[in-house]
Amino acid sequence: MATKKLKRVAAKARNLLHDHPLLKKGGRHEQSKKSKRQQEKVTLKKEWFHPLVFAI
C-alpha cells in the first residue's frame, strides 16, 4: 500500500505577547480619575479648614 505524505506548512511566526492579558492594562502614564478626585477633596478641605480661618 502506498501512503500519502502530507506536506507540512511551516507555522507563521507570530508575536506571542500581542494578546497577552496583562498588556491590555497598559495606557497613558497619568493619575487615575479616582486619585484626581481625592486630590481635589484634599485641597478643598485645606482651603476651607485652614487654621487662620478660625483664628480670632
What does the pLDDT look like over 4-25, one tens digit per residue? 777 777 777 777 767 777 777 7
The confidence score (pLDDT) of residue 56 equals 59
The confidence score (pLDDT) of residue 55 equals 59
pLDDT tops 90 at residue 35? yes
Q: Which domain holds residue 50?
A: 32-56
Q: Which residue has the higher pLDDT, 54 or 6?
A: 6
Query: How many structural domains comprise the chain?
Result: 1
Can you give the pTM of this predicted structure? 0.42
Tell me if 41 is assigned to some domain: yes
Tell me if 39 is assigned to some domain: yes
Give the rounded distance of the alpha carbon of 31 from its chain centre.
Answer: 11
Residues 35 and 39: their CA atoms lie apart, in Å, by 6
